[in-house]
Structures are given as structure tokens and as C-alpha cells.
Structure 1
Amino acid sequence: MKKFFSLALLGLCLLLANQSFAQLAVGKGDKFLNVGIGLGGYGGIVYGGGAIAFGASFEAGVAPNITVGGVASYRPYSGYGSYYSIGARGSYHFNELLNMANDKVDLYGGLGLIYSGWTWNESYVGFRNSYGGVGFGGHIGGRYFFSDKLGGFAEVGFGVSPLQLGLTAKF
């Protein structure tokens, strides 16, 4: 399923790449803020136990085509608990490598170091539990800018949800 979403996202972004625009260059000092919802995942919509997740990520350009930053997400679970993650991540932006000449599209992928945790509290039966740990994460995504500063994004990867959709701001 993850491979299907990855290929579908990449195909959509490549279709949007039009040679009539100047190339989008992600450079040192560029900043991106993604805010969106997450769909699917363990205990999520697919399994019927959880709710829609909420997440955000922020990245800043540190070199041509390379950004680093942080990510956080949260999902309530069946009214009794929650799943959350917070961490650091970095991305490589592929437009220059793919020789894409569309200034409205940004394709990227990357890795992260993420702390994920889960809590469960059914006080009416006296059951409480929680756990957490640090692990590696990965993501592949694309942005389409409606204007110079605002766009939409789609991202697949590891975390609270395998699919994230939302708005992105560049500043």
C-alpha cells in the first residue's frame, strides 16, 4: 500500500511538472512549514480504532536542495488514549536532480530520528499503559504552490500516519 501511494504521488507530481516555468531552487535560508492531517495507520481510519491525526513539520534550507528541521504529530485513539511523535528530519529536494523546470512543484524525500509514544487509559476498568521509543523515519513528498508563498502538500512515510495531506507555507 505504501509503494502504491509513493508511486501515485510521484506520478502526479511529474505530471504537474511543466517545462514553461523556471526551476524551483531550494536554497540556504528557505523555510517551509507544513500543517495537515494524517490518514491511515495502526488504529487509524483503516482499522477503525483511531481518529484523524494532526501534524506539522518545519524545515529550513542549510545548503542547495537540502533542508533540516522538526516534525510532530498527534492522534487521539478511541477516546481512551493517544499516539504521538516528535523528532528531527532532513530532506533532499529532487527538482534540480530530475531537471524539472516547474517553479510550482517541489519533490523531496528524507530521513528522520523520531520519538514515538502511545498512551492508553481505561480508568473505568483500571487499565493504564504507555510506551515509547526512538526510531528512524522516512518520508517522500511533494508540494504544489498555488502562489509564491502558499501551496498544498502530500507526503507518505513512517510516523503517526502513512499519508499526510495539508497546506504548506514558504518564507
Structure 2
Amino acid sequence: MKKINFLLLLAIGLLAGTQSFAQMAVDKGTKFVNLGIGVGGYSYFTGSGLGLNAALDVGVAKNITVGGILGYRGYGNGVTSFDIGARGSYHFNEILNLSTDKADLYAGLGISYYRLSYGDTYLRSIGIADSYGTTYIPIHIGGRYFFSETLGGFAELGSSLATLKLGLTLKL
């Protein structure tokens, strides 16, 4: 947990310390697409497997986006999981008075359906379910940094299939 807190503070410090002329505007109609990989997690299989994830965020009001998330993770030996849901985020650029139009800091929560499948024929043969599904409320905090007007990178900490997600982000 100390490592995650340190990384979060470092990312905020680096993003807040950049200099430019204006803040990134997140208004109605602004669209972001995140595509990335994820590591870490909160289950028995935490240390294994690499997750793939995608998220779409659409501005519905000043500094507020809503959208969807989709994730998949394979752990080996036929064990897989997926996550699908909706989320909302608040973008802190204005409150933090960021002096750059390249950075976007946000946090939020959502509602998701999570399914874990064991793929174990032995479990089925003795009458035990080989999959598990549940609905939960994931939280997330993240940041984006744009290298150009439309392409950037993102990092996100959260409580979904992966604790840490990293990847590319597109502003449409």
C-alpha cells in the first residue's frame, strides 16, 4: 500500500509541476478512449496474469464524464475473468488549477459485473460450479498526459480486474 501511495503522489507531483499556458478543458461532448494493460488485483490469482482493458469517457457536464469499461484477464490453467460496467469521473484540473493543457487528473466510481471462470472439468464432475459472478462498485483514480492534441498515456489505480492500469489514451 505504501508503494501505491508513493506512486500516486509522485504522479500527481509530476503532473502538477508541468508548465504550459492553459488547463485541459473537460466539457460536455469531450471524449476519451483508454486502451491498456493491467497488473495486480484483489483475488487468489493476484500475482498472475496480465489484464487487457478499455474505457470510454464522454463529457456530460463541465469536469464530469460518464462511460463504460471492459476488461479481460487470463491467469493460466484455464482460469479467466472479465469485467463490464459503467463509470463516472470527476476531472480535477480546474480545482487543482493545473497550468497545463496536456494533463488530466480524475477520480470516480461505477458499477460493474465481474465473472471468474475456472475452466476446471474436475469441479464440474463433482458438482461444483466452475464459475463465479458478482456485481460490485469499483473506484478509480487516474491521470492522463497528452503527447499531442489527441494521443497520450494514462495510469489508473482502482479496484477492478487490475490494481494498476497503464496504456494509451485518445482524445476524440
TM normalised by structure 2 equals: 0.89
State the secondary structure of the residue aligned to 2:93: coil
- Write the letter of the residue equivalent to 2:137: F
Distance 1:76 1:169, change over 3 A: same
Structure 1 residue 80, shift from structure 2 partner: 1.2
| Alpha-carbon distance in structure 2 between the residues aligned to 1:30 and 1:163 | 24
| Alpha-carbon distance in structure 1 between the residues aligned to 2:156 and 2:55 | 11
State the secondary structure of the residue aligned to 1:121: coil
1:107 — aligned with what?
105
1:14 — aligned with what?
13
2:85 — aligned with what?
87
State the secondary structure of the residue aligned to 2:137: strand
- Write the letter of the residue equivalent to 1:121: G
Give the root-mean-square deviation of aligned CA atoms: 1.7
State the secondary structure of the residue aligned to 2:138: strand
State the secondary structure of the residue aligned to 1:88: strand
Distance 1:93 1:10, change over 3 A: farther
1:26 — aligned with what?
26
TM normalised by structure 1 equals: 0.90
| Alpha-carbon distance in structure 2 between the residues aligned to 1:54 and 1:74 | 5
- Write the letter of the residue equivalent to 1:28: K
Q: Does 1:120 align with 2:124?
A: no
Structure 1 residue 81, shift from structure 2 partner: 2.0
Q: Which blocks of at least 5 consecutive residues in structure 2 are unaligned? A: none
Give the count of matched residue pairs. 166
Q: Is the 8 A contact 1:20 1:101 kept in 2?
A: yes
| Alpha-carbon distance in structure 2 between the residues aligned to 1:65 and 1:77 | 36
Per-residue CA deviation, residues 40-79 of structure 1 (Å, 9 max, x unaligned), is 11314x2xxx310000000100000000000010101223
Q: Is the 8 A contact 2:115 2:131 kept in 1?
A: yes
Per-residue CA deviation, residues 71-92 of structure 1 (Å, 9 max, x unaligned), is 0101012231211110000000
State the secondary structure of the residue aligned to 1:13: helix
| Alpha-carbon distance in structure 2 between the residues aligned to 1:155 and 1:139 | 7
Stretch moving more, 159-168 or 119-128: 119-128
Distance 1:6 1:141, change over 3 A: farther
2:146 — aligned with what?
145
Structure 1 residue 11, shift from structure 2 partner: 2.8
Q: Is the 8 A contact 1:6 1:156 kept in 2?
A: no
State the secondary structure of the residue aligned to 1:148: coil
Per-residue CA deviation, residues 100-154 of structure 1 (Å, 9 max, x unaligned), is 1111110000000010011112236747511111111100000010000000000
Q: Which blocks of at least 5 consecutive residues in structure 1 are unaligned? A: none
| Alpha-carbon distance in structure 1 between the residues aligned to 2:29 and 2:137 | 26
